């Protein structure tokens, strides 16, 4: 650099110039807002570890999604279910009367312009809190594939726009793709949680979904946080099995993985800005330790800058509302 002829600060002298040359801009179209749906009517249970988030009954969820679209300009949601009853295998989630299929149908009836991503897993629906069928103290991979495939078809039949398996079983994308195709849902995309790490950042979510494992942990199926090369193998396998989009979860501690996935594979990349990341920002903001609004924008920008095409975030609604007010 030939200083003083080259002065990089010239392009930072005014907001107009900074806006003009900005490389990365997060827009509402990049965002997906997660929700937790529960049985009952007029139910709005606060989630203490996730301020501003709730377990919502279907009637209130429909109103909330309308508000998300109208006020925040965010048109994509991800649904998690809190069932009335659980079982050993998660079969309860495969019923057409299960909580998420009911919610999908209700939202589709009332909200015209919304895309629904249905999370497919068993941890919310099993009495033991693990992501599949337990045999000899561990999740049996191949038995779990049967339940996941059945659950996926039920979600598609209810009207889900995208199926998102989050279980981390080997072969589940292929099993789900075959089941969807066999039932005529050849146009339904799969958003695979391809590189999902066994992370400490999921704690608040497990409070929200009631999905904490009752014994052991998930390290035999979720990934070791130390492994980046293995993440690429997981992503590649899911692509070969038919994944239309791949996900890295969590986001902030895995920005390098997001970048490597984007660089190595010509496929849309989703990043999940998870509950623990959200709650840390909220706690620090509530204590006046950080500028919360600026921090949220910076975090989402960093995730997109790393290579994410789509960001799932509990900040989506508040970010969208502020974004609209800026315009």
Query: Who wins on pLDDT, 190 or 85?
Result: 190
Nearest to 300 by CA among 281, 326, 324, 327: 281
Angle between helix axes 141-158 and 172-182 (nearest 10 degrees) is 40
Is the pLDDT at 213 greater than 80? The verdict is no
The reported pLDDT for the residue numbered 1 is 63
Tokens coding 6: 């080259």
* Each residue's pLDDT tens digit, 50-93: 999 999 999 999 999 999 999 999 999 999 999 889 888 888 99
- Overall average pLDDT of the 161-165 stretch: 98
Least-confidence region, from 25-29, 119-123, 149-153, 158-162: 119-123
Mean pLDDT rounded to a whole number for the chain: 95
Q: Is 196 a catalytic residue?
A: yes
- Overall average pLDDT of the 188-211 stretch: 91
The reported pLDDT for the residue numbered 122 is 87
Residue from 196, 262, 282, 304 carrying the catalytic annotation? 196
The reported pLDDT for the residue numbered 106 is 98
* Each residue's pLDDT tens digit, 33-50: 999 999 999 999 999 999
The reported pLDDT for the residue numbered 127 is 85
The reported pLDDT for the residue numbered 214 is 82
The reported pLDDT for the residue numbered 208 is 86
Query: Who wins on pLDDT, 1 or 210?
Result: 210
Q: Is 249 a catalytic residue?
A: yes
Residue from 44, 86, 187, 249 carrying the catalytic annotation? 249
What is the pTM (predicted TM-score) of this model?
Answer: 0.95
- Overall average pLDDT of the 95-123 stretch: 95
Nearest to 259 by CA among 251, 107, 157: 251
**pLDDT confidence tier of residue 218, bands split at 50, 70 and 90:** confident
Query: Who wins on pLDDT, 148 or 209?
Result: 148
Least-confidence region, from 1-5, 77-81, 112-116, 182-186: 1-5
């Amino acid at each position: 650099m030939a200083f003083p002829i080259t002065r990089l600060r010239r392009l930072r002298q005014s907001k107009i110039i900074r806006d003009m040359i900005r490389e990365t801009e997060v827009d509402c179209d990049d965002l997906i807002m997660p929700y937790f749906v529960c049985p009952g009517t007029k139910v709005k249970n606060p989630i203490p570890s996730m301020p501003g988030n709730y377990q919502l009954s279907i009637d209130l969820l429909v109103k909330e999604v309308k508000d998300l679209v109208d006020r925040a300009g965010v048109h994509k949601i991800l649904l998690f279910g809190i069932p009335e009853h659980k079982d050993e295998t998660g079969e309860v989630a495969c019923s057409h009367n299960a909580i998420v299929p009911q919610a999908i149908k209700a939202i589709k009836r009332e909200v015209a312009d919304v895309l629904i991503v249905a999370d497919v897993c068993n941890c919310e629906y099993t009495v033991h809190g693990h992501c599949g069928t337990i045999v000899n103290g561990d999740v049996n991979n191949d038995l779990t594939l049967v339940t996941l495939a059945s659950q996926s078809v039920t979600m598609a039949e209810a009207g889900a726009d995208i199926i998102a398996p989050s279980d981390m079983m080997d072969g589940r994308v292929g099993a789900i793709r075959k089941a969807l195709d066999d039932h005529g849902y050849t146009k339904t995309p799969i958003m695979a949680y391809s590189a999902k790490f066994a992370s400490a950042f999921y704690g608040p979510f497990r409070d929200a979904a009631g999905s904490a494992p009752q014994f052991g942990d998930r390290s035999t199926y979720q990934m070791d946080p130390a492994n980046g090369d293995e993440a690429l193998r997981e992503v590649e396998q899911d692509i070969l099995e038919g994944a239309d989009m791949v996900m890295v979860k969590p986001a902030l501690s895995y920005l390098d993985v997001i970048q490597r996935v984007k660089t190595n594979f010509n496929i849309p990349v989703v990043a999940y800005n998870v509950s623990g990341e959200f709650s840390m920002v909220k706690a620090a903001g509530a204590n006046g330790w950080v500028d919360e609004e600026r921090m949220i924008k910076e975090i989402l920008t960093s995730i997109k800058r790393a290579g994410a095409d789509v960001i799932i975030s509990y900040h989506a609604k508040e970010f969208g509302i502020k974004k609209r007010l800026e315009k």
